[in-house]
Structures are given as C-alpha cells and as structure tokens.
Amino acid sequence: MTPIVIDLEWNRSFPGRNPIEDLPNEIIQIGAAKIDPELNVLSTFSELIKPRYYPRLCREITELTLITDADLADAPPFLTVIESFRRWCGTDCVFISWAPNDVIELRRNCRKYGYDTSWIPDCYDAQLMFDDMEMQQDRNWPLNYALYHFNEKPDGMHNALADVMSTVSILKHLDLEEGLSDEYFKVIV
C-alpha cells in the first residue's frame, strides 16, 4: 500500500451569494505526493483545474492561494484532471491529508461532476495524528503551527503541492506506521 499525501485548494461562491447546495466548494488545484515507508517523496502530482460552477475566483481565495482567474483560464477541466490523478494514484494506496476536509471535498466534487467515487481510498487525518501523538490537547492545529512546532520551514502556504510537502515534513516527526494502523485517525465520510 502506497501512502499518498494530498492537499486541495478550492473556490466558493462570492460572499453574500448562496452557494450551490451540493457543492459549497469547487476544487481548483490538486497536489499530492507518493511517499515510501521512510517518508521519502517518490513522485508528485500538481495540477490546476478550470472551475465550472464557480468560474470566477473570490478575492479571498486569490489572496490566500495566489491563484488568479488568468492562471485557471487555460487549465484543464475537473474530469480531465481527476482521471489523470486517479491513474497516477494507482489501485493500492491510502490518502493522508491535513484535516478531513480535502477528502470530503474530493468526494463531493466527484459526485457533482458525475465521477465515480469508489476509487477514493481510505484517508487518514495528519492533523489529528499531530494532536494525538505530539500535543494531546484535542485541538485542530493549523499546518503552519505544526511546522513551527517542529522548527520546519514551509516552501509556501495555500498552494496544494507546497502544503503537501509541509505535511510530509510534519509526518517525519510522527509515527506514521502507528497512525495508519489506528482506525482513530481514519477520516469518516
């Protein structure tokens, strides 16, 4: 089984406008890294996605991610990227993400686009692992705090692949084997 650390960036409806009922967030970037048991990065995946349902980026999303409408203008559509991502993942893998939101949004976006979700593997919550194994305060720690705690430097924040690499840096300080063997850390969707 290959562990894959994933992170997503997404857009949403403009403030004051009603979001689409079954799609509060639309994925605009997928970042991922396959890692080995020693947490070496074997391969990475990074792709922008041209949004269909929320075609213009909210100002807050652009400020947070530095992704612009121009960046997404020529990006491939969701179905093209998700098929490429699914093939890249392979069939014997498990996802690890910082908090449960990414896998929840991945499933939600796949359903909205009519793409089968049965390929999505189990996902484990690295944020929960960090709290349980290191902090023991029953809190949702931000990724940047965990980096600070371990004196790790981010490559950048709120870019999907940069956040993936930051999560890998944090996992190197935790017992990933224990985390992946404990149902407590599994994301329930």
Q: How far is CA 16 from the centre of its chain?
A: 26
| CA 83 vs CA 35, 77, 120: distances in Å | 21, 10, 12
Mean pLDDT within 171-182:
97
Q: What is the overall mean pLDDT for the chain? A: 95
Whether residue 41 contacts residue 168, with contact meaning beta carbons closer than 8 Å, is answered with yes
pLDDT score recorded for residue 55: 92
Q: Tens digit of pLDDT for each residue in 124-153?
A: 999 999 999 999 999 999 999 999 999 999
Q: Tens digit of pLDDT for each residue in 72-122?
A: 999 999 999 999 999 999 999 999 999 999 999 999 999 999 999 999 999
User: Please, what are the domains in the chain?
Assistant: 2-185 (3.30.420.10)
Q: Tens digit of pLDDT for each residue in 5-39?
A: 999 999 987 766 777 888 899 999 999 999 999 99
